[in-house]
Amino acid sequence: MGGPAEVRYIIASRPGLAGDVTPTAAAGHARHRLTELHARMILVTGGAGFIGSNFVLDWLAGTDEPVVNLDKLTYAGNVRNLDGLAGDARHRFVRGDIADQPLLESLLADHAVRAIVHFAAESHVDRSIHGPGDFVDTNIVGTFRLLEAARAYWSALPQASRDAFRFLHVSTDEVFGTLAAGDPPFSETNQYLPNSPYAASKAASDHLVRGYHHTYGLPVLTTNCSNNYGPWQFPEKLIPLIIANALAGKPLPIYGDGQQIRDWLYVGDHCSAIRHVLESGRAGEVYCVGGSSEKANIDVVQTLCGILDAERPRADGTPYASLITYVKDRPGHDRRYAIDARKITAELGWQPAETFETGMRRTVRWYLDHQDWVADVTSGGYRDWIAKHYGG
Ligand code: NAD
Ligand code: DAU
C-alpha cells in the first residue's frame, strides 16, 4: 500500500505565516527544528494570487495537512490575502520564483512534498497583449523548471511515495480557442487552438506537463477551468474592476459589443474541483471544470449594477448602469467559452455549490466589506496599468 499517509518525512518547523522568506532564510529555517511526521504536505505555487490564496485558505480550513506556499509576489500576489493564517504553523510562505530551480530543489528536499498544486502564472489576457515576455518566462519556462525540479525529486523517492506523488497543473479553458454560438462546450478532447499570448503560453505549459507524464511517467493531473470570480480577485479582471469602478463613480468599460460569453464559476467551487482531482483524479488525465453558467459580458455587468443598486444605492439615486461605457474591443477577443464538466462530475462526483446569482451576491458583498484591500492593491503600479490600457 503506497498511500500518502504512510510516507515518512521531515518537516521544517518555522511557524507558518504570511511573510516574506528569502531562499537562503528558507533553507536555514527548514533545518531549525525537525519533527518527523506522516507525509501529508503539499507545495502550492502562486498561493498569494486570487485562486491560489482561496485554495490555501480553503485547504487549511478543511484539513491539517501543511502547505508550503511559493509565490514571487508579482503585482497580482498579495500576502494580505493570507492574513487569516498568521501564526498558523501549518502554513509556510516562501517568496520566490518558480523559474528558480535551485530554490525549488531545496524546497522539495527540505519538505518531502507529496503533491505540487501549480497555480503560479501571469494570468491577465490584456497584459499578455501589451507584453507577452513575462508570460513566456513564467508560464512556459517557469513551468518547465518546476517540472524539472519535480521530476528530479520524484525520481529519487521510494516506490510507494513515487506512486502517491501528484503534480497538479491548473490551466484554463482559453487553450481551446473560441466557440461559435451553436458549438458544443469545450471538453477534454477539444483541439488546442489558443488565440492570445496568454492562452498560447498556458497551452505550451499544458503540453509540457503532458509530455512529462508520457515520457518520464511523472504522475500529472491537469485541470482546464472557465472564468473564476470571488474574493481576492485583482481588480484588473472584469468583475472586480466593474465593482471598484462603480463604487468610485467611474465608467464601466465594456469591450466591443459586450456580447462575448464566458462560463462563470465561483472560485470556491474551482478550489473544491482541484481538491477532488488531487485526491481521486487518475494520473495523466485532464479534467475540464466549469460553472455551466454562460453569460454575455453586458449581462454580467448589468447583474453587478443591479446588486449594487440594492446593496449600496448611489447618493444621487441614478442607477450604476448609467456608468456603462462601450470601449474599443480587445484584439483577437474570443467570442465564447463554455465548459462541458461531465467528466469530473461523473468520475469524481464534483459539482459547483454556488449558482451565478448566489456567487455574484457573495462576491459583491465581499468587495463592499473589503474596500481597504481594494484601495491597497489599486495603488502604485495598478494606476499605471489603468492609464496605459484604458488611456488615462
Ligand atoms: P493571479 O494572477 O491572481 O495570481 C497569480 C499568482 O502567481 C500571483 O500571486 C503571482 O505573484 C504568482 N506568480 C506569478 N509569477 C510567478 C513566478 N514566476 N513564480 C512564483 N509565483 C508567481 O492568477 P489567478 O487568477 O489566481 O490564476 C491562477 C492560475 O489559475 C493560473 O495558472 C491561471 O492560468 C489559472 N486559471 C485562472 C482562471 C481565472 O479565471 N482567474 C481560470 C482558469 C485557470
Ligand atoms: O477563461 C478563463 C480565463 O478567464 C483565465 O484563464 C484568465 O486567467 C482570466 O483572466 C479570465 O480571462 P478573461 O480574459 O476571460 O477575463 P477578463 O476578466 O479579463 O475578461 C472577461 C471578459 O470581459 C472578456 O470577454 C473581456 C471582457 N472585459 C474585460 C475587461 C477587463 C471587458 O469587456 N471590459 C474590461 O474592462
Q: Cell digits for 146?
A: 518546476
CB 59, CB 241: distance < 8 Å = no
- Percentage with pLDDT > 90 across the chain: 85
pLDDT the model gives residue 3 = 28
E strands in 46-114: 67-71, 91-95
Q: Average per-residue pLDDT in the chain?
A: 90
Q: Cell digits for 293?
A: 453558467
CA angle 304, 306, 311 (to 5 degrees): 90
Q: Where in the sequence numbering do the catalytic residues fall?
A: 173-174, 198
Pocket-testing residue among 22, 43, 51, 236, ligand 1, by greatest number of atoms within 8 A of Cβ: 51
pLDDT digits (tens, 9 = 90+) for 204-230: 999 999 999 999 999 999 999 999 999
Domain architecture of the chain: domains with CATH: 4-229+266-292+336-347 (3.40.50.720)
Residue reference for cell 459583491: 364
CB 339, CB 173: distance < 8 Å = yes
Atom 12 (ligand 1) nearest CA: 46
pLDDT the model gives residue 5 = 26
The letter for the amino acid at 101 is Q
Atom number in ligand 1 closest to CA 138:
18
Distance CA(123)–CA(203), nearest Å, equals: 13
Question: Looking at residues 366-376, what average pLDDT do you find?
Answer: 95
Neighbours of 387 (CB within 10 A): 10
Distance CA(120)–CA(232), nearest Å, equals: 15
pTM to 2 decimal places: 0.92
Is residue 312 exposed (0-12), middle (13-18) or buried (19+ Cβ within 10 Å)?
middle
**pLDDT category of residue 12 using cuts at 50, 70 and 90:** very low
Whole-number Å distance, alpha carbon 158 to ligand 1 midpoint, is 32
Ligand nearest, relative to CA of residue 241: 2
Q: Cell digits for 287?
A: 479534467
